[in-house]
Amino acid sequence: MPEVKSIFREVLPKQGQLSMEDVPTLVLCKPKLLPLKSVTLEKLEKMQMEAQEAVKQQELASKEPSQ
Amino acid sequence: MEVTMDPLFLAWSYFRRRKFQQCSDICSKILADSPYDQAAWSLKTRALTEMVYIDEVEVDQEGIAEMMLDESSIAQVARPGTSLRLPGTSQGGGPTPAVRPMTQSGRPITGFVRPSTQSGRPGTMEQAIKTPRTASTARPVTSASGRFVRLGTASMLTNPDGPFINLSRLNLAKYSQKPNLSKTLFEYIFHHENDVKNMTLQDVVQFSSNIIFCVQALDLAAQATEHAQFKDWWWKVQLGKCYYRLGLYREAEKQFRSALNHQEVVDTYLYLAKVYQRMDQPITALNLFKQGLDHFPGEVTLLTGIARIHEEMNNITSATEYYKDVLKQDNTHVEAIACIGSNHFYTDQPEIALRFYRRLLQMGVYNCQLYNNLGLCCFYAQQYDMTLSSFERALVLAASDEEQADVWYNIGHVAVGIGDLTLAYQCFKLALAFHNDHAEAYNNLAVLELRKGRVEQSKAFLQTAASLAPHMYEPHFNLSTLSEKIGDLQSSYTAAQKSEDAFPEHVDTQQLLKQLQQHFASL
């Protein structure tokens, strides 16, 4: 607010040079909200997991008699 | 003496209670006694279908083959605002990557993932291989058949004595004349059987021929319903679905259009819009949705479809408008709530985002992602008491290592926010321990390393992050700044250029580039 007079006055050096340097700072990657999964996607992933499990089971079963 | 229930009735009861395995077992017994029992046969077909049923509207997996060998595109470079493939061409003032992280396809991350989200087309084969399809699988499927192959394996294995129906021996013409059998048979072929045949060969060509088989079945069925003079809309929709799976989009469009002429059904609009989206005609799809809304005012799925297209075209403001419309009709729509919530979070209103996520919690959504989001919102809305307990729950509920890594990564942000850099360091390290390719964690770790004065370590982390996620501008920019500090101007320049490619409006990158150009000019 320009009309309100601040009690602090800015200090500008009268002598010497005033130099400002804009130093580039490193940036962090931003926090990541995790997207919720749709029902279909959850079902697909569950079915995929089950399929993988079933394959593993069968592979184990087929290995055992040969040993 | 116990009175036994009629087995077929019991099977029906199991089917209604969605206990498909028991239902199928009983039907098998009935069929073993009397192989020509059509009721039991039909019921078993339905039970087997339901086991692997996925909503066809939602499934939209674009494999590498479809992406790279696309014949239906008209122009290589579409005009701005008319294509889903150029995510950068939004007019709606989408969020910049400075505030909202990007997915690998160059879109801002959404609040909700479906099987078809992030279907943006990568420019190169290399990128195509790297782009994740779903939340957890890191690779795209090699072709549209890939997913179905894997799903089929399980159903195959559960039947030790081979498939239930031997399709090659089936006289389809005979079945197509029995409308009450042909529909269940079709659904069985479409959802269940196409995988099983495929799984031994794992070959796209086989898959196609298999689907052609499916289309043949359909053709025959369509002929059989000729007594209705092709007036059965249901079969036309199914025919369209088959064409869609085969990649014959124009034919699919024709079928859906003709089905709509017979009967206005919401599903048909959704399928047709899917065809247009696949053909990269978002404007046509939008018009179609609006046309659908004229017939079905306030239909939630149509409104959601519009919102999704706007979101994919990076027009987040109008997407939010439509999601709000969705909520007016259905105030428990998870997708709409999640998308509006994440949008508020990334437009600097975490308090409002918090309300949306709390609403989801009230509705009974209970998973790792939601608690993670709640934790973040609480922290940025200055409700510190809830922050860490939310993250604790998120960690407990995490189902996979990738989720665990993401939660630790976000806890690292909280730690950075409260100035506990040691904790932050440990969190990012943990994120990397759980998920070795977490590019964001590498980048943030590099920043922390540099604060400790370990330049070489920091540089190595930044290079790793940049190679893992070339779509992010942060590692490129940081690498550029770092290289400039240690006097390696050439690599600083190349990194700055990459940063500019990823995020052209970034002011600091521009300044850095200008500075470097001055350096080079004075040489």
Number of domains in chain B: 1
- The nearest alpha carbon in chain A to B118 belongs to A35
Beta bridge partners of A36: B112
Which chain A residues are closer than 8 Å to B409 by Cβ?
32
| Overall average pLDDT of the B180-192 stretch | 76
Question: Are B100 and A40 inside 8 Å of each other by CB?
Answer: no
Reported as a single tens digit per residue, the pLDDT across B430-462 is 999 999 989 999 999 999 999 999 999 999 999
Q: Is the pLDDT of residue B197 over 60?
A: no
Note down the domain range covering B15: 7-52
Report pLDDT for B121. 44
Establish if B184 belongs to a structural domain: no
Q: Residue B294 corresponds to which tokens in the numbers above? A: 């004229």
Report pLDDT for B206. 41
Label residues B138-175 b or e (16+ Cβ within 10 Å = b).
eebbebbbbbbbbbbbbbbbeeeeeebbebeeeebeeb
| Average pLDDT score, chain B | 80
Cβ-contact B483, B489 below 8 angstroms: yes
Question: Are A33 and B373 inside 8 Å of each other by CB?
Answer: yes
The one-character DSSP state at B188 is I
Question: Are B112 and A32 inside 8 Å of each other by CB?
Answer: no
Chain B residues 224-283 within an 8 A CB cutoff of chain A: none
| Overall average pLDDT of the B60-87 stretch | 63
In angstroms, how far is the first alpha carbon of chain B from the final one? Answer: 103
Establish if B22 belongs to a structural domain: yes
Interface of A with B (CB under 8 A): 22, 24-38, 40-41, 43-45, 47-48, 50-52, 54-55, 57-58
Reported as a single tens digit per residue, the pLDDT across B349-360 is 999 999 999 999
Reported as a single tens digit per residue, the pLDDT across B385-407 is 999 999 999 999 998 888 999 99
% of chain B with per-residue pLDDT over 90: 43
Establish if B464 belongs to a structural domain: no
**pTM as predicted:** 0.80
Q: Out of A36, A51, A54, whose CB is closest to B334?
A: A36
Establish if B18 belongs to a structural domain: yes
Q: Which long-range contacts (CB under 8 A, 24 or more apart) does B79-86 make?
A: B81/B313, B82/B281, B82/B282, B82/B283, B83/B280, B83/B282, B84/B119, B84/B120, B84/B277, B84/B280, B84/B282, B84/B309, B84/B312, B84/B313, B85/B120, B85/B121, B85/B280
Cβ-count burial of B191 within 10 angstroms (0-12 exposed, 13-18 middle, 19+ buried)? buried
* CA A36, chain centre distance (Å): 15
The one-character DSSP state at B192 is I
% of chain A with per-residue pLDDT over 90: 0
Establish if B31 belongs to a structural domain: yes
Question: Are A54 and B153 inside 8 Å of each other by CB?
Answer: yes
Establish if B24 belongs to a structural domain: yes
Question: Are A44 and B147 inside 8 Å of each other by CB?
Answer: yes
Report pLDDT for B152. 45
Q: Is the pLDDT of residue B34 over 60?
A: yes
Q: Is the pLDDT of residue A52 over 90?
A: no
Question: Are A51 and B474 inside 8 Å of each other by CB?
Answer: no
Q: Is the pLDDT of residue B522 over 80?
A: yes
Q: Out of B100, B406, B416, whose CB is closest to A28?
A: B416
Reported as a single tens digit per residue, the pLDDT across B102-113 is 766 556 677 777
Q: Is the pLDDT of residue B176 over 60?
A: yes
Q: Rounded to an integer, what distance in angstroms lies between the CA atom of residue B399 and that of residue B266?
A: 35
Establish if B256 belongs to a structural domain: no
Reported as a single tens digit per residue, the pLDDT across B77-133 is 666 677 776 655 444 455 677 777 776 655 667 777 776 654 444 444 555 555 444
Please report which confidence band the pLDDT of residue B173 belongs to, taking 50, 70 and 90 as the band edges. low
Please report which confidence band the pLDDT of residue B493 belongs to, taking 50, 70 and 90 as the band edges. very high
Establish if B39 belongs to a structural domain: yes
Report pLDDT for B514. 93
Higher pLDDT, A2 or A14: A14
Report pLDDT for B147. 46
Question: Are B134 and A51 inside 8 Å of each other by CB?
Answer: no
Q: Is B503 in CB contact (< 8 Å) with chain A?
A: no
Q: Is B425 in CB contact (< 8 Å) with chain A?
A: no
Q: Is B370 in CB contact (< 8 Å) with chain A?
A: yes
Cβ-contact B468, B437 below 8 angstroms: yes
Report pLDDT for B129. 53
| Overall average pLDDT of the B41-70 stretch | 74
Report pLDDT for B141. 41
Question: Are B481 and A26 inside 8 Å of each other by CB?
Answer: yes
Cβ-contact B80, B86 below 8 angstroms: yes
The total of other beta-carbon atoms located within 10 Å of residue A45's CB is 18
| 3-state secondary structure at position A36 | strand
Q: Minimal CA–CA distance to A42: which of B406, B258, B367? A: B367
What letter represents residue B268's amino acid?
A: T
Q: Rounded to an integer, what distance in angstroms lies between the CA atom of residue B273 and that of residue B282?
A: 8
Please report which confidence band the pLDDT of residue B70 belongs to, taking 50, 70 and 90 as the band edges. low
3-state secondary structure B55-74: CCCCCCCCCHHHHHCCCCCC
Report pLDDT for B286. 94
Q: Is the pLDDT of residue A19 over 90?
A: no
